Amino acid sequence: MQKRTIPRHIGIIMDGNGRWAEMRGLPRLEGHKRGVARAREIIETAYRMGIEVLTLYAFSIENWRRPNDEISIIMGLLEDTLKGEFNVFIEKGIRFRVIGNRERLSGELRKLIELIERSTESNSKLTLQCAISYGGRDELIRAIKKLINFKIPVHEITEDCISKLLDTAGIPDPELLIRTSGEQRLSNFLLWQSAYSEFYFTPTLWPDFTKEELLEAIYDYQSRERRFGNVCSQSR
Ligand code: IPE
Ligand code: IPE
Ligand code: MG
C-alpha cells in the first residue's frame, strides 16, 4: 500500500453491537464488550499503519435516549476500558482526546478523560479521538456560542475560524469515514468535518469488523477520484 495515499484521518461509526448480540441470543452487553475488543484491534492496526488520526464514534448525544440500564452498561465499559488502556497509550505514544458534550458525563468519567488527555497531549504517534456524548449539531451550537461569547467580529468569521472553535480544533478533516452494520447515514457524526470525506459503508456488524476489512476500506478509498469541486482530481 502506497504511503502517500493512506488517509491521514479515518473516522469510524462503530455500529451493530446490539444486533450482533441479539442474533446470538445474547444480551446487548455482550455485543458492546465484543465491540470494545474490536476497537482495540483496529486502534492497533491504525497505529501500525502510521495513520495520524483515528476517530471512533462510541456514544452519540442521541444515545442518551436509550434505556438507562444500557446507558450505564456502556458508560461503565467506557470507563473500565479507558482505565485499562491508559498505560498502553503512554507506552505507545498515543495521544488521546475526547470530542463531545462532557456536561452529561459523570464527574468520575470526566476526570478520567481529562487526566488521560493531559498525560498524553504531547504524544506524537496516533491521535485517538473518541466521540463520547457527541453530536455534530451540538458541537456546532457550542462553537456558535463561543463565537458570540468571544465577541468575534463578523468579518473574521471564516471556515478556518469555525474549525478552530469545534471540538476537533487542530485536527485535519477525515478523508475516509466508515460505517458498519449496513446503515447508510451519518447519525450526527462529524457534520462539519465530513464535507469532503469519502464514505465506506459495509454490512459487517462492528464486532465482526476485522483489520482486513479496514485495509479493504482503505484500498477502496485509494481508488476514488477526489475532485473537491474541481474538474480533475487534486490533492488538498
Ligand atoms: C453501536 O451499536 C454502539 C453504540 C451506539 C453505543 P448499537 O448499540 O447501536 O447496535 P445496534 O445498531 O443496535 O445493532
Ligand atoms: C450511531 O449509532 C452512534 C454510534 C455508533 C456511537 P446509532 O445506532 O446510535 O445510530 P442510529 O440510531 O441507528 O442512527
Ligand atoms: Mg446502532
106: nearest Cα among 79, 136, 66: 79
- Model's pTM, two decimal places? 0.96
Q: Tell me: the pLDDT tens digits for 142-193?
A: 999 999 999 999 999 999 999 999 999 999 999 999 999 999 999 999 999 9
Give domain status of residue 190, yes or no.
yes
Please name which of 96, 94, 136, 124 lies closest in space to residue 112, comparing C-alpha atoms.
Answer: 96
Kindly give the number of the ligand 1 atom that is closest to the alpha carbon of 205: 14
Q: What is the pLDDT of residues 13-64, one digit of tens each?
A: 999 999 999 999 999 999 999 999 999 999 999 999 999 999 999 999 999 9
* Residue position matching grid coordinates 465577541: 151
- What is each CA distance from 224 to 4, 35, 83, 106, 189, in whole angstroms? 14, 29, 39, 42, 22
pLDDT confidence bin for 236, thresholds 50/70/90: low
CB 17 within 8 A of CB 206: yes
**Does 224 fall in a domain?**
yes
Residue identifier of the C-alpha nearest atom 1 of ligand 1: 15
Give the CA count within 13 Å in the CB-facing half-sphere of 45: 17
Contact between residue 192 and residue 139 where contact means Cβ atoms under 8 Å apart: yes
Question: Per the structure, how many domains does the chain have?
Answer: 1
Distance CA 14, CA 140 (A): 22
Cell of 159: 471556515
* Beta carbons within 10 angstroms of residue 203's beta carbon: 10
Range of the domain at 80: 3-135+173-235
Q: Ligand 1 centre and the CA of 16: distance in Å?
A: 5
60 CA closest ligand 1 atom index: 5
CATH number of the domain at 115, please: 3.40.1180.10
Would you say the CB of residue 12 lies under 6 angstroms from ligand 1? no
Among 110, 81, 108, smallest CA distance to 98 is for 110
CA distances from 72 to 126, 148, 174, 184, 206 (A): 29, 35, 30, 27, 20
Percentage of the chain modeled with pLDDT above 70: 97
The answer to whether position 43 is within a domain reads yes
Q: What angle do CA 3, 4, 7 make, to 5 degrees?
A: 85
Residue nearest to atom 3 of ligand 2 (CA): 60
138 noted as active-site residue? no
Indicate whether 66 belongs to any domain: yes
Query: Of 17, 63, 68, 230, which one is the catalytic site residue?
Result: 63
Q: What is the DSSP letter of 94?
A: -
Classify residue 122: in a domain, yes or no. yes
Give me ligand 3 centre to Cα 208, in Å. 14
* CA–CA dist 66, 68 (Å, integer): 6
The secondary structure of 119-140 as a DSSP string is HHTT--S-EEEEEEEE-HHHHH
In a domain, 160, yes or no: no
Residue 15 catalytic?
yes
**Is residue 24 one of the residues assigned to a domain?**
yes
Considering the domain boundaries, does residue 218 fall inside one?
A: yes
